[in-house]
Amino acid sequence: MSQIDRSKIIHGTLIKIKDILSSNVTDPLGANRSSDTRFVMLSFPERKVEYPHIILSHNGGAGERLGVPGNMLEYELRLTITVLSKSTKQRDDIADAVLHALRTKMGDLENFGLYGFTIASIFDAEGEEAHIKHIELGLKVIAT
């Protein structure tokens, strides 16, 4: 069963993925990153940012009751992982590292109650200050 608090399905899922990415994707700035900025974040920062960085966000989902009169729900969530960098090569290298981290830590995610990962799409965009890659994921979580 899910180890995610049922009342915090979205936030708990984002935190777990953030922890995995923070631990398994190398920050190119490393020790040179300012102490008041982050490499992996849950929302677009309202403070100073340094490039590159990764932003995780929820972009939809639905829940469905499993069994009658069961109290279990299966949620399908859609998440976006956005990689922003000053260089397209660095952006692509970080995106590859994100996908590798998710693939190699699939067991940890499943133990946490997250499963059924799909990559819905991967696409590039250009921003005013950075090159952007969006990775849209689908995943499921069962909550009791």
* pLDDT number for residue 68: 56
Query: What are the contacts of 97-102 at 24+ separation with CB within 8 A?
Result: 97/24, 97/25, 97/26, 98/21, 98/25, 98/54, 98/135, 99/135, 100/24, 101/20, 101/21, 101/24, 101/25, 102/17, 102/20, 102/137
* Backbone phi and psi for residue 142, each to the nearest 5 degrees, phi listed first: -105, 130
pLDDT of residue 74: 81
Q: How many other CB atoms sit within 10 Å of the CB of residue 55?
A: 20
Residue 9 has a pLDDT of: 85
The tens-digit pLDDT sequence of the chain (144 residues) is 456 667 788 888 999 999 999 999 999 999 999 998 999 999 877 778 899 999 999 998 877 766 655 667 788 999 999 999 999 999 999 999 999 999 999 999 988 888 899 999 999 998 888 999 999 999 998 776
What is residue 144's predicted lDDT score, i.e. its pLDDT? 67
- What the chain holds in terms of domains, given with CATH numbers, is 8-61+74-93+100-143 (3.30.70)
Distance CA 87, CA 133 (A): 11
Contacts of 4 by beta carbon, 8 Å cutoff, 6+ apart: 12, 13, 16, 112, 113, 114, 141, 143
Q: In b/e form, how buried is each residue of 106-133, taking b as 16+ CB within 10 angstroms?
A: eeebeebbbeeeeeeeeeeeeeeebbbb
